[in-house]
Amino acid sequence: MPLDYVFRAQTLSKFPGNETEALHNFELAVNADTSYQGKVDLMSQASAFAKKIGNRAQEASWLGKMYAISKNPTQVDLYNWGFANYQAGQYDSAVNIFCNMYESKYPTEIYGYLWCARSSAAMDTTMEKGTAVEPYKKLIAFADTAKEKYKATLMQAHGYLAGYYANVAKQKDAAISELQAILDLDPTNANAKQYIDLLKKPAAATRSTTSTGSTKSGSTSTSTKKKTTTTKSGKK
């Protein structure tokens, strides 16, 4: 009976080292339960247990199964499924959920654009493939409709693109444009001013190699052969 498997799963979950078997018993319980609501409730318990023990991949798997059979899946259901995949490092799945499903179903919400960009960036940590460039442009286009509300998000997005154009694409003018966008949002941002000055400086004026980079949080950095300085211009 389903309840027998649930009881066994709950009992096993109380003792460290039995997590895998506990999750397996949740699966047996779901397979044994013939009612729709019973399956949904068991899947919810299984995903919550997986999250509790830090198994984000299993959490994502259960949330995906629950979303697939749900008669009326919500925006929160889709977000939780996508975010669990992101937390599990399953960025391909996160990209598919946020860039395709979420953006299509909820085009007036920022979360699809935001986590599409972040998931795409996580797939390309060196920026060499440029997979997050278009998603960040799309995020900026959405956030520009309410600049004050999404100020921090916009600064992070422009900081990411500035790093890409300066370090990977080698397009100084485009990098300067992104940094200027940060100044438009925050005229007191000294770091953005500094990077613009560095990018505008003629190459012959210094023998040091100057570059502008971006971190996951939207910060930018400049470095020379002699020293490295890291600052945060993509934030307030």
Share of the chain above pLDDT 90, in %: 67
Report the pLDDT value the prediction gives residue 8, as an integer from 0 to 100. Answer: 80
In this predicted structure, what is the pLDDT of residue 204? 57
- How do residues 150-184 score in pLDDT, each as one tens digit? 999 999 999 999 999 999 999 999 999 999 999 99
The pLDDT > 70 percentage for the chain reads: 84
**57 vs 1, which has greater pLDDT?**
57
Residue 87 has pLDDT above 80, yes or no: yes
Q: What is the pLDDT of residue 231?
A: 39
pTM: 0.81
3-state secondary structure 152-217: HHHHHHHHHHHHHHHHCCCCHHHHHHHHHHHHHHCCCCHHHHHHHHHHHCCHHHCCCCCEEEECCC
Residues carrying CATH 1.25.40, the chain: 74-146
**Residues 6 or more apart in contact with residue 100 via CB below 8 angstroms:** none
Task: Please determine, for residue 216, whether its predicted confidence score (pLDDT) is greater than 70.
Answer: no
Give 203's contacts (C-beta < 8 A, 6+ positions apart). Answer: none
Q: Of 185, 180, 176, which Cα lies nearest the Cα of 150?
A: 185
pLDDT for 14 equals: 75
Q: What's the topology of domain 74-146?
A: 1.25.40
Cβ-contact 210, 220 below 8 angstroms: no
User: What average pLDDT does the chain have?
Assistant: 86
Is 19's pLDDT higher than 90? no
